[in-house]
Every structure is written in structure tokens, then in C-alpha cells.
Amino acid sequence: MPFPRALVLFDIDGTLLRRAGPHHREALTAAVRHVTGFDTTTDGVPVAGMLDRDIVRAMLRVAGASEAQIRRAMPRIVERAQKVYVRTCPDLRRKVCPGARMLLYKLHRRDIPAVLVTGNLTHIGWKKMEQAGLRGYFRFGAFAELAHDRAGLVRIALHHARKQDWIDKSSPVALIGDHPNDIRAARANGIRAVAVGTGLIGETELAKHTPDLLVKDMRLLTLNGLLGLE
């Protein structure tokens, strides 16, 4: 039987890719240094599940920057970090999480749109997908500089999908992520929360946040299970 119209949202780090190298963090620290002169680090910053701008903000606060300094510098840091990462991003094809490529292929075959919802800045996120060989699977992306939190990014993605007539009010929608923040973002938007244990947060901790579905990795996902059609 044909599938109903549906939508699947994907986080990137820990969900589609893992152990992608230090280049992303290095781009943020290099951008901060270039724009502000502050030598910063992500050491001690709980970067998992955070948006890039929040990571930069935390780095600068630790370094002693004032809120006014951070606010003024942020647009230039965001621009610079993306330029640095696009130049330095390595080949990421071997960093794709188990089952991710096959799941994206299955969604493509069923004409189910795949959309990015990620804490990465726009050009960083797309460059990762390009270098991982996954870029062609995604129709849209909601990225870190577009909203204040992950729930806001999900709202942007849903609004775009409805505007494009990819889904309607009855369409099943799922968000796949590796962090409690992804589960919270799905809950806040009334969509299905699917958690995968491929990130830094273990399955035991993820289970405490009661996702609709929890799997070790995407090899264990069926389309029916992913979309809650079973």
C-alpha cells in the first residue's frame, strides 16, 4: 500500500554523523579569535545538543566577554566560522552513522521528504552533508542562526513543509535525534520523537526522556516504526 504523505526531520551530529573530527570546534574558536581577539575553548562547554551560537556565547562568557561584546560580535563570528569550516571540512563519508544512508535512501524511494533540523550554522551543516555524500537527500534545512532554540528550528521546518505542500495536518512527522534536546523539541511541536543511541548520550539516559521510539542505531528503524504506523 502507498505511504501517506509524511516528513522526517534529522539532527546531524551524533545522529547522521559521529566522530566527525575537531574541525567544527576549531572553526568556532578561530572565528572568535579573529573577530574579538579572545582565545577561547570549548573545553567545559557541554556542546552536545547545543546550537552553535549558544556554544560561542558560552565560550566568550568563560573568556570574560561582556554580554554587550558578545551581542555585537556574534554576526561576524557566525559569518567567519562558516567560511573557516567550509575551507577545512574533511571527507566525512566514513563518519556516517550506521543505517543512516540506507534510511535516507528508503525515504527518497518513497518520496518522503528528509529535512535537517540542527544546531549547526547553515554553511557548516550543508558542508557536512556534502562531504558525507548525503546532501542530495535533503530538501530543506533549519539551522542554528534561524531560531533561539531547537523547538524553534522544528517550527521553521514544519512551516516550510506545509507551505511547500509536502505534508498536511494529518501527515505523520518524526524527528530523529541523539540528545534529550531533540526529544524536547519534538514534544514542543507535537511530533514523533525518535531517539538513536549513536551520540554522546547513552540509551539509558535517553530512555529517561521517554521518546516515542528509542533504537541503538538507524539500522533498527523501519519506515512504519519511524512514522508510528505500526
What are the structural domains of the chain? 7-20+95-227 (3.40.50.1000), 23-88 (1.10.150)
Structure confidence at residue 7 (pLDDT): 97
pLDDT band at 134 (very low <50, low <70, confident <90, very high): very high
Name the nearest CA neighbour of 126 among 142, 106, 107: 142
Structure confidence at residue 30 (pLDDT): 95
- Please provide residue 211's backbone torsions phi and psi, each rounded to the nearest 5 degrees: -65, 160
Integer Cα distance of 50 and 133 in angstroms? 24
Q: How many degrees, rounded to 5, is the angle at CA 96 between CA 31 and CA 213?
A: 105
Residue 48 has pLDDT above 80, yes or no: no
Residue 43 has pLDDT above 90, yes or no: no
Residue-wise pLDDT tens digits, 162-211: 999 999 989 999 999 999 999 999 999 999 999 999 998 889 999 999 99
How does DSSP classify residue 15?
A: T
Q: Indicate the pTM of the whole model.
A: 0.92
> Cell 575553548 identifies what position?
41
Mean pLDDT of 20-41: 91
Residue 212 has pLDDT above 60, yes or no: yes
Mean pLDDT of 80-99: 96
Q: Write down the mean pLDDT value for the chain.
A: 93
Structure confidence at residue 1 (pLDDT): 53
Q: How many degrees, rounded to 5, is the angle at CA 96 between CA 215 and CA 3?
A: 55
pLDDT band at 41 (very low <50, low <70, confident <90, very high): confident
Structure confidence at residue 20 (pLDDT): 82
The more confident residue out of 148 and 46 is 148
Integer Cα distance of 177 and 150 in angstroms? 11
Residue 24 has pLDDT above 70, yes or no: yes
Mean pLDDT of 122-132: 97
